Amino acid sequence: MDETASHLSRKISKPILITGASGFLGWNLIAASSEEQLACPLRNPKTIKHAPKKVNISSHHRWDHDSCIELLKAVDPKIVIHTAAISNPESCLRDPDLSREVNTLWPSHLAKACSDLEIQLIHCSTDLVFSGKDGPYEEKAPTAPLNLYGQQKALAEQFVLKQSPTACILRLPLLFGESGAWTRNGLRTLAEFWRKGDPIDLFADEYRTPARAQRIAQFIIKDLVPLCLKKKPIGIMHLGGPQTLSRWQMGQDLAQVFQLDPSHPQSCKRAERGVSNSRPKDTSLISHKAKSLGFHHKAFVEELMDIRDGGGFTQDFPKPCFLL
């Protein structure tokens, strides 16, 4: 039994186990879990700063099937939320073997272990499993990813559902919002580059349905986890925001709310940068199923205004609360 298994076994009874807790969505899941005990095994536990006492963070380095079984038996979670991934497409290309292990094989091993122990699994996927040629997409639409990251995640979906037929697959859009200072945060980084005057290209012909990570995290904890624990069949679910926006339009809205110079970034098209074959045009998600189960989201500008008025993109873990 490794450090994670022995340590968590002594301290936690029936927590939610979250993988990838040091990431952007992971931070928001911790923030949203006001009344839940959490188990967060990490490769590097020191990446999470000032976590609430309800969060038990330990070191865990192995994700083969036997190691997943060992961890799950020791922690005895009521449910597993798998968010961990190498989500940057360029990083996947730089190290395809590692990204395949993390994005495809690990979810498969974890799903099999969850199935063997009859533990419910929520697996986070991506809108980049689609080609972008036929958006917007419903859950039943066929996948046809353009880049390696999307291919790895599409395979992971297949493996997860094969190994654990009752698992819930969440296809997530481009996420934005608050997070800890140590996490990757796309809009925060964009705003920092903008203020420094660094060159910025924003695609006018690449469309997504951006969603605030806090909204998604609170829906997962407050609405989806109870449904999964009741063994309600969920299957694949889309969690996109209410608007289809280009990267360029998102930038203009960011400038409006955070008082940035709207003329600074360059509007461009994917073909002009030679990325038409690797960056899908329109991966907008149709999210009627999620909305019917309680998922709600304001317009992009309104969410940005809430973030601005709440202190900006970099936050400490908040006091227990849910967005109204």
Please name each of the domains of the chain with its CATH number: 3-184+210-243+285-297 (3.40.50.720)
CA 86/CA 41 separation, integer angstroms: 16
Q: Which of 175, 163, 168, 86 is nearest to 123 (CA)?
A: 168
Instruction: Determine what percent of the chain falls in helix, strand and coil, rounding each to the nearest 5.
Output: 40, 15, 40
> Reduced to 3 states, what is the DSSP secondary structure of residue 82?
strand
Q: Which of 20-24, 125-129, 158-162, 204-208 has the lowest mean pLDDT?
A: 20-24
pLDDT at 106 over 90: yes
What residue has token string 């990570």?
213
To the nearest whole number, what is the mean pLDDT of the chain?
A: 91
Contact indicator for 209, 127 with CB cutoff of 8 Å: yes
Mean per-residue pLDDT, 203-220: 97
Please tell me the distance from the alpha carbon of residue 259 to that of residue 288, in angstroms, as a whole number. 34
Q: What is the pLDDT of residue 5?
A: 55
Whether 148 and 89 have beta carbons less than 8 Å apart is answered as yes
| φ, ψ (nearest 5 deg) of residue 170 | -105, 115
Q: Could you tell me the pLDDT band of residue 59, with boundaries at 50, 70 and 90?
A: confident
264-288: average pLDDT: 93
Task: Tell me the average pLDDT across 165-181.
Answer: 95
pTM of this structure: 0.92
Q: Which two tokens stand for residue 161?
A: 């559902």
3-class secondary structure, 122:
strand
pLDDT of 82 reads 97
Residues in the chain: 324
Give one word for 251, left, alpha or beta, with left for phi > 0 and alpha for psi -120 to 50.
alpha
* Local structure of residue 263 (DSSP, 8 states): T
Q: Are 239 and 284 in contact (CB under 8 A)?
A: no
Contact indicator for 109, 63 with CB cutoff of 8 Å: yes
In angstroms, rounded to a whole number, what is the distance separating the alpha carbons of residues 178 and 180?
7
> Token pair of 281, please?
């045009």
Determine phi and psi for 208, rounding to 5 degrees: -140, 170
Kindly give the pairing relationship between strand 175-176 and strand 211-212. Answer: parallel
